[in-house]
């Protein structure tokens, strides 16, 4: 199927799966059927972090972690459309979203971005081992002072001699316990130049901070309400000394690189949520077809059927939006090239891609939350029990509703900015 995207650009959007993509999805599906069974996922959620190492190693061997990283850098060089299909499948088999959170959003989304901007040293020591399932690399963006206001963060990095010295604190960071146990590190933004009030996003630089670096103190994980299998913790940076090899991307351009990282992670979230919703419906539908009340199956009652139809409609819309977003991301990256030349992305400007990314990041978690809630209501008491994964899915996707990988309202600001113009952004 082909759609005309933009009359003057004469682009066609073909989202039929290639034979290779079908085989890839099939392989992921078969692996998940054996290793991410409903029972295992329930046990993982009940037990909580750390995330089982054997599953990570299996995922790595399968090739789904950071699949988009180029083959020369240890990845598979998959395109984002394929990786989105993989994320959808992972979301389906782990609807608590713990696996997608840790290994699609964080490791694949952010890991790919780290690889684009890191030195060979960081790649050899951290990126490649993470792809092999040996270490964990993630994003440490949020600070005690706030999350959404990235430019207002307080972590600093000062050049002393030929080393950067970092001070600050990051909180609500995914995977800190896993990172501490297995080794790895985090993408950390720090202010490296004066704060310009009209342009606070300038003079921020991105760094890769190894979790075991001197001066890094990992904070005890929080007691999350959902996605229990992956930890959420934090770390304090006290005079952490890093060579310039640990800088990610250009000095002062950290904010832009970070937006790129969010783009990739949010794409993974949108895709994973589509899988979560599909799973919820697959689990709920047999029950409502079977269960009779007042002599009629639940599924025959319009109240339920209509809600099901709406959620299904929105899920299909989400899936199409996700594929289109992935397609745009692929074209954008192909044009930017390596080393990254943002100005080269002409067909789809990064800001236009960001608009679509925000659309699916907003839509996915909210729709998944609604699907989980509705499924429980349709099924009644049975849906409320832990026999089903609805309540675990609800608790898990709520983390993305409350703001993991970006506040939901921020997504609307991004969309508004693209539609109306920068001057209409309510705050900087």
Partner 1 sequence: MSTFNGVWVFSENLDLTAEMLSKGRELADKLQTELAAIVLGHNIKEQAEDLAAYGADKILTADNPIFKNLQVEPYLGALADLATKHKPQILLIGSTRRGKELAARLAARLQTGLIPDIVKLEINEEKMLTATRIVYGGNGIAVQTYKAKPQIATVPPRTFEKPKPSDKKVEVINVEVKLEESKAEVVEVKPVEAAKTRIEEAKIVVCGGRGVNKKEDFKMFEELANLLGGQIGGTRPLAEDRKWFSEWVGLSGKKVKPDLYIGCGISGMIQHVAGIRDSRVIVAINKDPNAAIFEVADYAVVGDIYQIIPALIETLKQTLKR
Partner 2 sequence: MPRIIVCLKYAIDVSQIKVDSATRKLLTADAPRKISDFDKNALEEAIRIKEKHGGEVIALTVSSESASSALREALAMGADKAFLVQDSAVQNSDTLVVSQILAEAVKKVGSFDIIICGEASIDSYSGQVGPRLAEILGIPAVTYAHRVGLEGNAIIAERILEDCSEVVKVKMPALLTVTKEINEPRVPTLMDVLKASRKELVTWTLSDLGVSKEKVEAIAIQVLEVSAPKVERKRIKIEGENPKEIAEKLVKALIQDGVLGG
Strands (E), 257-354: 292-293, 296-297
Q: Residue 419: which of partner 1, partner 2, none does it interact with, CB under 5 to 8 A by kind?
A: none
Question: Would you say 79 or 335 has its CB closer to partner 2?
Answer: 79
CB hemisphere CA count around 235 (13 angstroms): 32
3 state DSSP class of 264: helix
Q: How many residues bind partner 2 (CB under 8 A)?
A: 18
Q: Quick one: which of 44, 55, 64, 280 contacts partner 2 (CB under 8 A)?
A: 64
**Dihedral (Cα; 284, 361, 237, 160), 10-degree rounding:** 160
Binding to partner 1 by residue 39, rule CB under 8 A?
A: yes
Contact map string, positions 262 to 281, toward partner 2, x by CB under 8 A: --------------------
396 touches 371 (CB < 8 A)? no
Give me 365's structure tokens. 């978690």
Give me 393's structure tokens. 């899915």
Contact map string, positions 383 to 402, toward partner 1, x by CB under 8 A: ----xx--------------
Binding to partner 2 by residue 19, rule CB under 8 A?
A: yes
Binding to partner 1 by residue 217, rule CB under 8 A?
A: no
90 vs 318: CA distance, rounded Å: 16
DSSP 145: T
CB hemisphere CA count around 164 (13 angstroms): 26
Q: Contacts with partner 1 in 218-277 (CB under 8 A)?
A: none
Q: Quick one: which of 5, 11, 27, 181 contacts partner 2 (CB under 8 A)?
A: 27
Rounded to 10 deg, the angle between the 390-402 and 38-47 helix axes is 60
Q: Quick one: which of 2, 47, 61, 154 contacts partner 2 (CB under 8 A)?
A: 61
CA angle 241, 265, 280 (to 5 degrees): 140
DSSP result, 148-160: S-GGG---EEEEE
Q: Quick one: which of 26, 292, 346, 386 contacts partner 2 (CB under 8 A)?
A: 26
Binding to partner 1 by residue 33, rule CB under 8 A?
A: no
Binding to partner 1 by residue 282, rule CB under 8 A?
A: no
Q: Quick one: which of 78, 242, 354, 379 contacts partner 2 (CB under 8 A)?
A: 78
Binding to partner 2 by residue 103, rule CB under 8 A?
A: no
Binding to partner 2 by residue 158, rule CB under 8 A?
A: no
Q: Residue 47: which of partner 2, partner 1, none does it interact with, CB under 5 to 8 A by kind?
A: none
130 vs 125: CA distance, rounded Å: 9
Q: Residue 387: which of partner 1, partner 2, none does it interact with, CB under 5 to 8 A by kind?
A: partner 1
Please choose, out of 15-23, 129-137, 224-232, 387-395, the segment that lies near partner 2 by the rule CB under 8 A.
15-23
What are the C-alpha distances in Å from 141 to residues 136, 181, 358, 366?
16, 20, 18, 22
CB of 284 to partner 2, least distance (A): 20
Binding to partner 2 by residue 55, rule CB under 8 A?
A: no
105: left (phi over 0), alpha (psi -120 to 50) or beta: alpha
Q: Contacts with partner 1 in 366-385 (CB under 8 A)?
A: 382
Please choose, out of 126-134, 211-219, 283-291, 316-324, the segment that lies near partner 1 by the rule CB under 8 A.
283-291
203 vs 192: CA distance, rounded Å: 6
Binding to partner 1 by residue 40, rule CB under 8 A?
A: no
Q: Residue 245: which of partner 2, partner 1, none does it interact with, CB under 5 to 8 A by kind?
A: none
Give me 237's structure tokens. 């940076």
CA angle 325, 329, 334 (to 5 degrees): 150
Q: Quick one: which of 40, 42, 202, 241 contacts partner 1 (CB under 8 A)?
A: 42
DSSP result, 17-63: PPHHHHHHHHHHHHHHHHHS-HHHHHHHHHH-SSPPHHHHHHHHHHT
CB of 93 to partner 2, least distance (A): 13
Residues forming the site for partner 1 (CB under 8 A):
38-39, 42, 286-287, 290-291, 382, 387-388
Residue numbers at the binding site for partner 2 (CB under 8 A): 19-20, 22-24, 26-28, 30-31, 34, 61-64, 67, 76, 78
């Amino acid at each position: 199927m082909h759609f005309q995207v933009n009359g003057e650009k004469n682009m066609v959007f073909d989202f039929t799966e290639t034979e290779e993509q079908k085989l890839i999805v099939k392989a992921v599906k078969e692996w998940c059927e054996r290793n991410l069974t409903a029972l295992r996922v329930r046990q993982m959620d009940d037990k909580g972090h750390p995330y089982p190492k054997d599953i990570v190693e299996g995922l790595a061997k399968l090739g789904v972690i950071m699949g988009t990283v180029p083959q020369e850098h240890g990845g598979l060089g998959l395109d984002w459309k394929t990786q989105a299909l993989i994320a959808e499948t992972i979301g389906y088999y782990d609807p608590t979203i713990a696996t997608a959170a840790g290994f699609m959003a964080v490791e694949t989304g952010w890991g790919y971005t780290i690889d684009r901007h890191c030195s060979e040293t960081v790649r050899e020591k951290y990126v490649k081992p993470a792809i092999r399932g040996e270490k964990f690399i993630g994003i440490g963006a949020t600070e005690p002072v706030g999350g959404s206001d990235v430019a207002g963060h307080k972590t600093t990095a000062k050049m002393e001699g030929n080393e950067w010295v970092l001070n600050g604190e990051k909180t609500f960071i995914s995977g800190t316990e896993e990172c501490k146990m297995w080794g790895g590190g985090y993408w950390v933004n720090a202010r490296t130049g004066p704060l310009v009030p009209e342009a606070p996003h300038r003079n921020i630089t991105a760094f890769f901070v190894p979790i075991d670096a001197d001066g890094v103190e990992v904070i005890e994980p929080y007691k999350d309400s959902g996605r229990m299998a992956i930890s959420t913790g934090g770390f304090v940076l006290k005079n952490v000394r890093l060579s310039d090899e640990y800088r990610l991307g250009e000095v002062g351009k950290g904010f832009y690189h970070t937006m790129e990282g969010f783009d990739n992670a949010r794409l993974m979230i949108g895709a994973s949520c589509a899988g979560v919703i599909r799973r919820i419906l697959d689990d709920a539908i047999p029950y409502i077809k079977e269960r009779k009340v007042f002599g009629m199956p639940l599924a025959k009652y319009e109240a339920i059927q209509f809600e099901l139809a709406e959620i299904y409609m929105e899920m299909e819309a989400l899936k199409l939006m996700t594929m289109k977003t992935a397609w745009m991301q692929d074209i954008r990256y192909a044009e930017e090239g390596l080393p990254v030349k943002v100005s080269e992305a002409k067909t789809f400007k990064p800001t236009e891609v960001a608009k679509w990314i925000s659309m699916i990041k907003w839509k996915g978690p909210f729709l998944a939350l609604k699907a989980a809630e509705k499924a429980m209501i349709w099924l009644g008491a049975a849906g409320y029990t832990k026999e089903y994964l609805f309540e675990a899915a609800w608790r898990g996707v709520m983390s993305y509703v409350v703001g993991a990988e970006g506040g939901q309202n921020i997504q609307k600001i991004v969309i508004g900015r693209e539609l109306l113009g920068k001057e209409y952004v309510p705050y900087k």
